Amino acid sequence: MSTFVQVLLNGTGRGAIYALLALGFVVIYKSTEVINFAHGSLALFGGYIVFALKPTLGWLGAAVCGVLAAAALAVLIERVLLARAKLASQDSLAILTIGVDILILTEITRRLGTASAPFLGDPYQDVRLRFLGATIEGPELFALLTAIVLIGGFFVAFRFSTWGLTMRAQSENKEAAALMGIRSWRVTASAWALGGALAAIAILFIATLPVAGGAGLTAAHTIAFAAFPAAILGGLTSPGGAVVGGLVVGLAESSASQYIDNDFAKVAVYLVMLVVLVARPSGLFGKVEQVRV
């Protein structure tokens, strides 16, 4: 019983992290129809800024700077690169973000070099809570709390604020939204900023000992990669699906690593995604594309 509770706790904690990443991914997709393969790199970039500024600014200051920096980088990518390639197909834009991902990842990995593994979870790194005979680690607990607040806030804003309205309008019909006076670039830029910020917040919980293991920030890009299956299996067009997808991926991973082994946990995530996709080719909550001849 306590093992099962442990699996649930780990899965939900990790799922919260994936949900943060996948939500940003879906918001970006909804506003620009671009699959952002550079999402892991945005997170890594934010994490690197936190790592670099921590000794001078302290954890909180560095964390704020890191989140802002990742948001700024995301806007930069959208404005400088993607906005210029409006005519390119969706797939080539996705490939463009793969190029961006390679650039950022290579440069930051080079900068980190063989330096001792950087960790970013200072305030909650060593917190541990007992719950129904199981232990929940600090980073996972705080990730869960942060995710509840942020994701809740996102859905409220998405449903009730003017910003949310413009966003929904644009993803529904771009031309009509533009004719109604919605400034397209503000919507897309804000979506990218939000995606970058959420990714950088997620990295604060990933680059910790319980989540990333001994490698810390250097393993973060690989871990953040699991946000892709999360977003895909939830359905790329659905923010709610991203949250569900994140939790499914987190739970699949934690139960596979508990009942089989750690290696299989990485594969299990993808197998779950594959099964979902074969049953529902647009993900659990994704919009099914209608083909008109």
Residues interacting with other proteins, by CB under 8 A? 35, 81, 84-85, 88-96, 98-103, 106-107, 110-115, 222, 225, 228-229, 232, 236, 263-264, 266-267, 269-271, 273-274, 277-278, 281-283, 291-293
Q: 281 phi and psi, to 5 degrees?
A: -60, -15
Q: Considering the complex, state which of residue 91 and residue 175 has its C-beta at the smaller distance from other proteins.
A: 91
3-state secondary structure of 36: coil
The distance of closest approach from Cβ of residue 128 to other proteins in the complex, given in angstroms and rounded to an integer, is 29
The distance of closest approach from Cβ of residue 254 to other proteins in the complex, given in angstroms and rounded to an integer, is 17
3-state secondary structure of 86: coil
Q: Considering the complex, state which of residue 201 and residue 273 has its C-beta at the smaller distance from other proteins.
A: 273
The distance of closest approach from Cβ of residue 38 to other proteins in the complex, given in angstroms and rounded to an integer, is 10
Tokens of 124: 């909650």
Q: Considering the complex, state which of residue 98 and residue 165 has its C-beta at the smaller distance from other proteins.
A: 98
Q: Considering the complex, state which of residue 85 and residue 148 has its C-beta at the smaller distance from other proteins.
A: 85
The answer to whether residues 234 and 18 touch, using CB atoms and an 8 Å cutoff, is no
The distance of closest approach from Cβ of residue 47 to other proteins in the complex, given in angstroms and rounded to an integer, is 17
Rounded distance, CA 239 to CA 103, Å?
28
Rounded distance, CA 196 to CA 46, Å?
8
The answer to whether residues 269 and 36 touch, using CB atoms and an 8 Å cutoff, is no
* Half-sphere exposure in the Cβ direction for 269 (13 Å, CA): 27
Rounded distance, CA 268 to CA 99, Å?
27
Q: Considering the complex, state which of residue 101 and residue 137 has its C-beta at the smaller distance from other proteins.
A: 101
The distance of closest approach from Cβ of residue 153 to other proteins in the complex, given in angstroms and rounded to an integer, is 28
Q: Considering the complex, state which of residue 193 and residue 269 has its C-beta at the smaller distance from other proteins.
A: 269
Rounded distance, CA 207 to CA 192, Å?
22
Q: 136 phi and psi, to 5 degrees?
A: -115, 130
Q: Considering the complex, state which of residue 38 and residue 144 has its C-beta at the smaller distance from other proteins.
A: 38
* Diameter over CA atoms, the chain: 61
The distance of closest approach from Cβ of residue 10 to other proteins in the complex, given in angstroms and rounded to an integer, is 20
What is residue 83's DSSP assignment? G
The distance of closest approach from Cβ of residue 163 to other proteins in the complex, given in angstroms and rounded to an integer, is 26
Tokens of 275: 């099964």
